[in-house]
Structure 1
Amino acid sequence: MMVPALAAAPSDSFISRALNKPVPGGVAVVDLGNGVEPPKATYQGKPVLVVKEQGNRWLAIVGVSLTVKPGSQQLAVRDASGSRNLSFVVGDKKYPEQRITLKNQRQVNPDPNDLKRIESELALQIQAYRSFSPGTPSNLILDKPVNGPLSSKFGVRRFFNGEERNPHSGLDFAVPAGTPIKSPAAGKVILIGNYFFNGNTVFVDHGQGFISMFCHMSKIDVKVGDAVPRGGVVGRVGSTGRATGPHMHWNVSLNDARVDPAIFIGAFQP
């Protein structure tokens, strides 16, 4: 029987100090040790972003979904020395509630035709979130896609017309319609579409399962397959889909787990 070793994020690591927020909806930075070749790591059966820092030290940047319960979690690692499990600890975090009134009742309780559309659109978006390209992200400390105040935080429990729905999976910025949305890191456009809930939407793959999604856009300025530089404009702020007004909604995903984008822009609040 393989006994997991307890892994700790290196305290002297810049990446760890910036990104290690191991809570539901957060990020765990796990030290994988030294080596010439990059280790492979998986969490809950999905490949994990691995980067090099400080010589030959390798770090796993693990997305922890909102559904993960506090406690010990297992990271499977394979490198030149063989396979092993590393254990890391997820703490607790409480998220606030938000109550939203929508005039369009179909956006709260979709009709049967809407549900068919939503199901097919969700399958496309899940496939995009599960993309895992081999490249190393251009930067892990991300730029804000727009400059403006936050209007809704990540993880908020949302009630639409009094009915609870999925927690808020990204950050909302209060900025005017037409504001350019800039990619927070270099990447490749892997999906665009106009969706029931998200409206005009763009997915950008930054590498190794590190994905940005922007939605409710008034205009999309890219196409699938485009290489987008850091700071490149992907579209314009709008209020398409399920939105009460113009704003910029930004999701960040790691290993198919939606995590708090505030972590990557230095705005995380425990």
Structure 2
Amino acid sequence: MNSKLTSRLFRAALPLLLLASFTAGATALPKESRVPGGIALVPVPGSSDLAPTVQFNAYRVAVVRRDDQWVAVVGIPLAEKPGELKLKVSTPSGTTEVPFRISDKIYRTQHLTIKDQRKVEPDPDDLKRISAETKRSDAALSKFTATEAPALQLISPVEGVRSDSYGSRRVFNGQPRNPHSGMDIAAAKGTPIRSPAAGTVVEAGDFFFNGNTLYIDHGDGLVTMYCHLDTIKVKLGDRVAQGDLLGTVGATGRVTGPHLHWGVALNRAMVDPALFIGAK
């Protein structure tokens, strides 16, 4: 084939090559569900080459470029009331508010029996420990590490039966407690737990309620947590790739049997992990 014909064919194919490249590199977003505990995908203003800075409830929000539009990927706390909410959007030209609305969602109630009554009614020393651990957990879940390509598509961290317990109002030994803020995945003790995306271990240890626990920072306000582990196979500061071994399923902390409690925080809001699996 002569050089002129080759050049013409390349020029004709170039737009298709660029389109394929853009499509392959497009950020996969989680499923949208504008309810307490869900995710809102909100278009926000910004220049074509500079992403705006977006905040919700004083926490920074992930922003991605999609279809020539900046989109804020907003985690909605379980405690939010239905109605209009507002994002704070900052660009070089100034700061504005972008409203969006959420609907109500009724979650079920679970009644559970715990053998260790201290896990339901902690003593004074336990409460001191819980207070210190809560601060550590909050610091880990509040992280925002800016990246060039947010990891917003996840794989399930463990093979097992996923419950629909996220958001359920829990009653332990007849006493109401906070709603369940993660997904329970039933699996045998020792089942491998693998990282759902690349990230960095930012907290690890034995927690009063959560047992052996890990926190992974995936960047752009996305942090995952893993509770009740039997063994932890990584340490603070480790960088992990998607699929790397994190630990094994156990029954440590406040549990009724072996399982993984998998939590996902987005701009510090604990949201439904199911929205990140099979992202569109």
TM-score of the pair, normalised by structure 2? 0.86
Confirm whether residue 227 of structure 1 aligns to residue 266 of structure 2. Answer: no
How far apart are residue 255 of structure 1 and its match? 0.9
Match of 1:88 in 2: 100
Alignment match of 2:60 (pick from 47, 52, 66): 47
Match of 2:265 in 1: 253
Match of 1:28 in 2: 40
Q: Map of 1:1-270 to 2, 5 A cutoff?
A: 18-33=30-45, 35-55=48-68, 57-136=69-148, 139-266=151-278
How far apart are residue 176 of structure 1 and its match? 0.7
Give the match's secondary structure for 1:231: coil
Is residue 150–residue 220 contact of structure 2 (8 Å, CA) maintained in 1?
no
Give the match's secondary structure for 1:95: coil
How far apart are residue 51 of structure 1 and its match? 1.6
Matched to 1:47, the amino acid is: R
Between structure 1 and structure 2, the one with the greater Rg is 2
Judging changes above 3 Å, is the alpha-carbon distance between structure 1 residues 202 and 210 closer, same or farther for their aligned structure 2 residues? same
How far apart are residue 136 of structure 1 and its match? 4.4
How far apart are residue 208 of structure 1 and its match? 1.4
Is residue 62–residue 150 contact of structure 2 (8 Å, CA) maintained in 1?
no
- Residue by residue, what CA displacement relative to the aligned partner does 1:161-196 show, whole Å, maximum 9, x if unpaired? 010001111000111111111111110100001000
Match of 2:12 in 1: none
- Residue by residue, what CA displacement relative to the aligned partner does 1:102-142 show, whole Å, maximum 9, x if unpaired? 11110110011100000000010001111111124553121
Matched to 1:63, the amino acid is: G
How far apart are residue 151 of structure 1 and its match? 3.2
How far apart are residue 14 of structure 1 and its match? 8.4
Is residue 27–residue 152 contact of structure 2 (8 Å, CA) maintained in 1?
no
Matched to 1:35, the amino acid is: S
In structure 2, distance between residues paired with 1:208 and 1:192 = 20
Judging changes above 3 Å, is the alpha-carbon distance between structure 1 residues 105 and 164 closer, same or farther for their aligned structure 2 residues? same
In structure 1, distance between residues paired with 2:140 and 2:151 = 20
Please identify, of 133-142 and 258-267, the stretch whose mean Cα deviation from structure 2 is larger. 133-142
Is residue 99–residue 159 contact of structure 1 (8 Å, CA) maintained in 2?
yes
Unpaired runs of at least 5, structure 1: 1-12
Aligned identity (percent) is 47
In structure 1, distance between residues paired with 2:256 and 2:135 = 25
- Residue by residue, what CA displacement relative to the aligned partner does 1:12-49 show, whole Å, maximum 9, x if unpaired? x9856x52111001111111245201110000111111
Report which of the two has the higher share of helix. Answer: 2
Aligned length: 253
Give the match's secondary structure for 1:204: strand
